[in-house]
Chains A and B, each alone.
Chain A
Amino acid sequence: MMEQVNIKLDRRLLREVDSLADLLHVSRSELIRLTLAEGIKEQSLKLRESVAVEFVKGHISDTAMESLLGPDAEDIRLIKRTMARGKRIVDGLLERP
């Protein structure tokens, strides 16, 4: 189900949207909808990645990470554990002559 929203766009940006929509043979609304969906998906992925990296580096708590990443939290905990374990293993190897 779709809902209507009103947004204000800069005139120059709107001209670019219309030119691109003409080129692609889609309506202005369709182009904005597709671009927005793609942008949101990309941003969401980047945000998830950043949250996970900050957790592995110990900058955010497990609770905060889990609330943001949901079911993926378990994999990120596994990465954190393995990052730490791998470093310990290599440090152990380095101590050997």
Chain B
Amino acid sequence: MLAFDTSALVSLSVGRVLPQALAIVKPVVTKTVLKELRSMASVKDELGMAAASALTQLSDIRVERVRREPTAEKELVLVVKRKRATTLVTDDLGAVRMAEASGVDAMFSVHVLYLLHQRGRVTRGEALAALERMRLGRVWKQNVIYQAAADLFGI
């Protein structure tokens, strides 16, 4: 069971691998994540469209009830701490730092892509194409994640 934050869902949606990911992992979100996605989807840019697409694919997703926190990431860290998920999936460095400080495991969306590849759900070529789509239009530190992830696929 993996707890997904908004950034990870949007990244996988941009990479066009969210349906495959949802098919093999048991994703968990909170109401705030869905709210953030709806807010992003109201903006008609590439990330907004990816958020809108993610929302249509999340109709059956498990929404964990937790005490309302100021951010979705804080809620998701609580979800993992309460053992309702094993790992936080996020591309937000602030969220990774928060998870680390709370003793909670965190990984990036590219690790879900790696899992998909290892399970034979996407080919190496498809994974690299997804990484390239995920890289476009991001800030340089996030680009580092997507570029370094090529190592996971033997590049």
Contact = CB atoms under 8 A, between A and B. Distances in A.
Given A75-B93, A79-B144, A87 B106 contact: no
Contacts of A85: 105-107
Contacts of A86: 106-108, 110-111, 114
A87 to B, nearest CB: 6
Given A90-B114, A90-B115, A93-B115, A76 B144 contact: yes
B83 interface: no
Given A79-B93, A82-B96, A72 B141 contact: yes
The prevalent SS among residues of B at the interface is helix
Nearest to A56: B148
Interface residues of B, number: 26
B115 A53 contact: no
Given A89-B87, A90-B118, A83 B149 contact: yes
Given A82-B106, A82-B108, A89-B107, A49 B114 contact: no
